[in-house]
Amino acid sequence: MLFKIASASLLGIEAYVVEVEVDVSFGLPAFVIVGLPDASVRESKERVRAALKNCGYEFPSRKITINLAPAGIRKEGSAFDLPISLGFLAHLEIFPSQRLNDYLFLGELTLDGKLKQIKGVLASAVLAKEKGFKGIVVPKENEKEAALVEGVDVFALEDIPQVVRLLNHPEEVKPASFPGEELFPLPHYDVDFLEVRGQQHAKRALEVAAAGGHNVLMIGPPGAGKTMLAKRLPTILPPMTFDEVIEVTQIYSASGLLKDKGAFAERPFRAPHHTISDAGLIGGGLIPRPGEVSLAHRGVLFLDELPEFKRKVLEDLRQPLEDGKVTVSRASMSLTFPSSFMLVAAMNSFEDAYRSFLSPESEAHFLQKTRYYAKISNPLLDRIDIQIEVPKVEFMDIISRGEGESSAQIRARVMKAREIQQERYRGRRIFCNAQMDQKDIEKHCELCEEGRKLLEVAVNRLGFSARAFSRALKVARTIADLEEEGRISPVHIAEAIQYRMLDKYF
């Protein structure tokens, strides 16, 4: 007898329907799973067999064939345990088999029949709503994640007997329901800009970066506070909107990193080590998975010791920095992942920072510095809007007990600037100044004669490229927004030029 149960699997971060066909027929006892299953799917037959027996159900000693359709796409994961077991229970007539058509089923089974947490539930809940299912059945640990999707009933159950009860008496099992504040907790950060001593210039640069969504490169000696500043950048970014929360949560859910959270409400902060591979940073695998650039979507990607990263890894950053998405192509498929993030990079002034006692005016000093910076390509540097020096912290700043500005105070100014930008770009897929194209720059970055002369000096004497010229204009527009001024003044242009350190000195 043949039974069909709807389930789902992931392609990237999107879900698609997988029809689990369970055929139990006469013949020599066998248990075969077809439809391009990976090892974790093939092993489900042992988990299902033990789970059903330990829950008191008979396991049929017959020829069993499981087909996962569509058969042309490789399936992975353990979420098919539950729908496969329900096919056997339907064969035993434990519940009315027609009710299997009402729900989308997902869940890994333990050997005693309990449902374990799985990944990708949010995308599957969105799919269940789109396909018109009455509800989705998921493990109890995934209930908050699935409940983010309105318009579909979420039945978060603990074991096989509870699923059987739902199929026998659906009126007795209530769908999951949570108040909004429990699903969307307020973001909480353990760090604050109040803890940073000195470095006023760097704080100002990060405020400008947060206000306009600009990329930042910090250059300075070890112990100057570069990492400390970078970790506090998410605390001054505006809170995520509902759509942004769903986007980020879906990525973390597909990657299996959501854990017990209902929603990922904080701006992501990712800081991969410089030994990371290009697949780890951009994404990859036989079935491509999101990399660090996607896990940093709507947040901050921090690359410490930038010149120590492999050259190919850094060059792979150019597409996501420019387009806000990254495409991973394999022989069997090509998937696109969102990757709209703020890049914050840090590096020492010299390759061997503790031995650079050469005179700043010497030729050897210049050659050593140039050789170290040459590890980063000019096309990548051009895509970093703000390049600043973070000097050694002075003794008086270290022992100072004066109260600086808190993250909340800085964030208030950033949010005002972002509100101006949202009004400016209303009705378009642009949310901050860093995303402006050439037409937007010409429209919103008008210059007076003095400002034009300043930029002419920057191009002719400091060697600004055309891209660096455009980036400086975007930063100047953001500085004007922070001052709540409609026109860009020469003061704004001058400050923006100061943030192009490498163009100025090299």
Indicate the residue type of 504. Answer: K
For residues 231 and 360, membership in a common domain is answered with: yes
Long-range contacts of 370-376 (CB under 8 A, 24+ apart): 370/506, 372/307, 372/348, 373/307, 373/502, 373/506, 375/307, 375/311, 376/306, 376/307, 376/314, 376/347
pLDDT, the chain, mean: 89
Residue 187 lies in a domain: no
For residues 291 and 426, membership in a common domain is answered with: yes
pLDDT 10s digits, 159-177: 999 999 999 999 999 998 8
pLDDT of 504 reads: 54
pLDDT 10s digits, 13-37: 999 999 999 999 888 888 999 999 9
Band of the pLDDT at 429, cuts 50, 70, 90?
confident
- Among 59-68, 344-353, 424-433, the minimum mean pLDDT is found in 344-353
For residues 363 and 475, membership in a common domain is answered with: no
For residues 502 and 428, membership in a common domain is answered with: no
Top pLDDT among 490 and 263 is at 490
CA 170 to chain centroid = 37
Residue 188 lies in a domain: no
| Residues in CB range of 123: below 8 A, 6 or more apart | 8, 10, 13, 14, 15, 250, 253, 254
For residues 393 and 467, membership in a common domain is answered with: no
For residues 423 and 440, membership in a common domain is answered with: no
pLDDT of 394 reads: 77
pLDDT 10s digits, 88-122: 999 999 999 999 999 999 999 999 999 999 999 99
Exposure string for 478-498, b = 16+ CB within 10 A, e = fewer? bbbbbeeeeebbbbbbebbbb
For residues 208 and 166, membership in a common domain is answered with: no
Residue 38 lies in a domain: yes
Band of the pLDDT at 210, cuts 50, 70, 90?
very high
Three-class DSSP labels, 439-501: HHHHHHCCCCHHHHHHHHHHHHCCCCCHHHHHHHHHHHHHHHHHCCCCCCCHHHHHHHHHCEH
Q: Could you tell me the sign of the dihedral formed by the alpha carbons of 126, 131, 136, 138, in that order? A: negative
For residues 342 and 288, membership in a common domain is answered with: yes
The Cα 326–Cα 319 span in angstroms is: 6
For residues 313 and 373, membership in a common domain is answered with: yes
For residues 122 and 202, membership in a common domain is answered with: no
Give the tokens for residue 231: 């970790």
The pTM score is: 0.89
pLDDT 10s digits, 239-251: 998 889 999 999 9
Residue 161 lies in a domain: yes
pLDDT of 258 reads: 85
Asked whether the beta carbons of 308 and 273 are under 8 A apart, the reply is no
The Cα 337–Cα 6 span in angstroms is: 26
For residues 115 and 76, membership in a common domain is answered with: yes
Structurally, how many domains does the chain consist of? 3
Task: Answer with the one of 435, 457, 476 that is the final residue of a domain.
Answer: 435
| Residues in CB range of 121: below 8 A, 6 or more apart | 106, 138, 142, 145, 146, 253
Residue 186 lies in a domain: no
For residues 394 and 429, membership in a common domain is answered with: yes
Task: Answer with the one of 145, 160, 181 that is the final residue of a domain.
Answer: 181
Task: Answer with the one of 399, 419, 435 that is the final residue of a domain.
Answer: 435
What mean pLDDT comes out for the span 341-356?
76
Asked whether the beta carbons of 435 and 214 are under 8 A apart, the reply is no
Question: The domain that contains 150 carries what CATH number?
Answer: 3.30.230.10
Residue 310 lies in a domain: yes
Question: The domain that contains 397 carries what CATH number?
Answer: 3.40.50.300
What mean pLDDT comes out for the span 280-308?
92
Going by C-alpha positions, the residue among 195, 119, 106, 199 that lies closest to residue 152 is 106
Asked whether the beta carbons of 503 and 387 are under 8 A apart, the reply is yes
Q: Which residue range(s) make up the domain with 462?
A: 436-506
Put residue 259 in one of left, alpha, beta given phi > 0 → left and psi -120 to 50 → alpha: left
